[in-house]
């Protein structure tokens, strides 16, 4: 796995051995979060990852970062798994 750190190690940009798109991960709001950058360019992936991380930090400070499932999401999952 190819791995690079940006923003002083707060964000990791990585790609699996088989290549493909770069992904990024970071800890924000006591949770590890991950997302694909949807690009195979490392320089572009680093810029996307930085913007993504700063956006998450902004949402965290504004109090709008979603950290838990909503009741609607839990109810939908329950109905999928419930046997009648």
pLDDT in tens, 1-48: 899 999 999 999 999 988 899 999 999 988 899 999 999 999 999 999
DSSP state of 27: E
Residue 84 has pLDDT above 70, yes or no: no
Instruction: Report the predicted TM-score, pTM, of the whole model to 2 decimal places.
Output: 0.77
pLDDT, greater one: 55 or 31: 55
- With H, G, I as helix, E, B as strand and everything else as coil, classify residue 83: coil
Decide if pLDDT at 67 tops 80: no
CA–CA separation, 45 and 62 (whole Å): 26
């Amino acid at each position: 796995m190819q791995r690079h750190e940006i923003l002083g190690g707060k964000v990791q940009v990585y790609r699996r051995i088989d290549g493909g798109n770069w992904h990024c991960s970071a800890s924000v709001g006591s949770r590890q979060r991950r997302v694909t950058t949807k690009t195979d360019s490392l320089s572009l992936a680093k810029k996307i990852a930085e913007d993504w991380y700063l956006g998450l930090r902004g949402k965290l400070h504004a109090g709008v970062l979603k950290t838990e499932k909503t009741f609607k999401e839990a109810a939908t999952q329950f109905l999928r798994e419930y046997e009648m």
